[in-house]
Structure 1
Amino acid sequence: MTHILLTGSSRGIGAATAVALADAGASVIGHGTASGIPADFADPGAPAALWAAALDRAGGAIDVLINNAGVFEANPIDAEDAAWLAGWERTMRINLTASAELCRLAILHWQSRGCGGRIVNIASRAAYRGDSPAHWHYAASKAGMVAMTKSIARGYAGQGILAFAICPGFTMTGMADDYLASRGGDKLLADIPLGRVADPHEVAVAARFLALEAPASMTGAVIDVNGASYVR
């Protein structure tokens, strides 16, 4: 059985991904759910503690890491200096640094076992397109996640360690609902040729494929799920 650590599994994309993976027969170790492992990624010690607890729950072997946890919080440019910097650093720690720590621990784990493994990082369309003036930090964190994914793919493919990223556009989650409401939903929807935002299940299908089925030669791939609102 494939053992998968999935962060941010309590709602939205994470919850849909947990269901899709379980339906495919994988053993999913969730984070942030009632039955999962609690961890606040704003705490620098949380990623290592989560990894250790997940490894114990998995019986000593994790095969796939999916980094999905993240925050989307406004950080206006005219905020007080200290508040702006704190907002920047909080988003970077939760969205990027915690994911990097877990990627590092996963790679070291697979190297010590002499086996391969898979990493799937849930980034964002914002990594390529950018985001609003109040969300520089969010876009930068997701761009960092994409660059990290590609670096891992290039650096460890020879050891059977594969890395992929998914870049959703607007997805019908709590975060997207709030953003659409605050910025005029109709105008934003008009920018999506498909005419609607993605359903979390659509992102989950991509995550399941990359975690369990994608051929090794796809390592380093970034999959867009954005209704053609940004094409590369």
Structure 2
Amino acid sequence: MSPVVAPSPAHVLVTGSTRGIGAAIVEALAARGARVVGHGSRDGEGALGADLSDPAAADGLWDRALAALDGRIDVLVNNAGIFEPVAVDAPLEAWQAGWGRTIQINLQASADLCRRAVLHFRERGGGGRIVNIASRAAYRGDSPAHWHYAASKAGMVGMTKSIARGYAAEGILAFAICPGFTMTGMAGDYLASRGGDKLLADIPLGRVATAEEVGGTAAWLALEAPVSMTGAVIDINGASYVR
């Protein structure tokens, strides 16, 4: 099997591509010659719109992306996600709604797209690649207001490993990336609101990762990483969590 599974140019679907890490992934893929279809919450900004809180949206997004890419997708990058707090002492209805929304967007929608990718790769033959953007929280956990976020990202890691083990013999490869804090607009606001110096003190490197670092790693996994790496989870967190 070739070290690069995808034909050239590779056809790639990237979710959550309109800003931050997703935009950096698209840029890195385009620089490597890939043909990319992005996704956002609504049509525009060069992306297909889909509200992934709708249980039917991921399946519909796949169909639209497949049409836009002339019936062939070689790589799926699941980057879309939310980081919304819910307090442990919130009313039960609010607690369950917060969990349901986070699991739906971060995990279920990603799972639905992975399912379509696996079925598509098997149908056309030749294999394909999946890259899931998880989080350091999958292993380290997160704040008391973000149990659901950590759980959703741990689910992404477990799903990635299951896909890798289940379909490697068919040339279907799966990888995950677990960033820590990453300098996007949203992360910058969060750092400032939580006391940036205190958070940075927990990162031996002394700074948060850049979106370009994560984007370049995702593009490498999508197009170039050795096939024997399937199932790998790559940490990008400045040694703030090592395992």
Match of 1:46 among 44, 57, 60: 57
* Aligned equivalent of 2:147: 136
CA distance in 2, matches of 1:72, 1:177: 14
Q: Does 1:8 align with 2:16?
A: yes
Match of 2:100 among 73, 80, 89: 89
Note the alpha carbon deviations across 1:2-49, whole angstroms, 9 max, x for none.
000000000000001100100100001000152110000001111011
Query: Given the two structures, how large is their TM-score scaled by the length of structure 2?
Result: 0.94
Tell me by how many angstroms 1:179 deviates.
Answer: 2.3
Gaps of 5+ in 2: 1-8
Match of 2:205 among 169, 194, 206: 194
Aligned AA (2:107)? L
- Residue 133 of structure 1 aligns to a residue in which SS? coil
Which runs of structure 1 show a deviation greater than 4 angstroms over 4 or more consecutive aligned residues? none
> What pairs with 1:1-232 in structure 2 (closer than 5 Å)?
1-32=9-40, 33-232=44-243
Given that residues 127 and 139 in structure 1 are in contact (C-alpha distance below 8 angstroms), is that contact kept between their aligned partners in structure 2?
A: yes
Gaps of 5+ in 1: none
Given that residues 77 and 84 in structure 1 are in contact (C-alpha distance below 8 angstroms), is that contact kept between their aligned partners in structure 2?
A: yes
Pairwise CA RMSD? 0.8
CA distance in 1, matches of 2:234, 2:45: 30
Query: Given the two structures, how large is their TM-score scaled by the length of structure 1?
Result: 0.98
CA distance in 2, matches of 1:191, 1:34: 36
- Residue 182 of structure 2 aligns to a residue in which SS? coil
CA distance in 2, matches of 1:40, 1:174: 21
